[in-house]
């Protein structure tokens, strides 16, 4: 894969919402805000001003959509930086999903 596609972004958004249902942690909202702000830094956009998880996810969706048509490595750098938090890793979603099936 060498480009950011609409379907990739849709799957990331679904994974975020699924993670919210599986993890009950107060720090998750602040981690999501930080992840959103990291993506905005890579895209040279404004940081999010929201605090509720659903609104921050919406902001995150808008931010990552700006990666469409950009270099894939920039997208992956942003996702890597965003995934460095203790309570927020997409790999944990994937592994939990595999265990439940």
Domain boundaries, the chain: 6-100
Cα 86 → chain centroid: 14
Closest CA to 56 of 17, 5, 85: 17
Which one has a higher pLDDT value, 68 or 95? 68
pLDDT tens-digit readout, 11-46? 887 887 777 776 655 556 777 888 889 989 988 889
Residues 28, 20: Cα–Cα separation, whole Å: 8
- Number of Cβ within a 10 Å radius of residue 17: 11
The reported pTM is 0.69
């Amino acid at each position: 894969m060498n480009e950011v596609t609409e379907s990739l972004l849709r799957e990331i958004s679904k994974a975020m919402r699924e993670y919210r249902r599986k993890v009950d942690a107060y720090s998750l909202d602040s981690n999501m805000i930080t992840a959103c702000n990291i993506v905005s830094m890579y895209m040279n956009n404004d940081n999010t001003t929201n605090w509720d998880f659903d609104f921050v996810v919406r902001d995150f969706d808008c931010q990552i959509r700006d990666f469409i048509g950009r270099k894939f490595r920039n997208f992956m750098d942003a996702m890597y930086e965003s995934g460095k938090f203790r309570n927020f890793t997409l790999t944990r979603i994937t592994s939990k999903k595999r265990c439940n099936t």
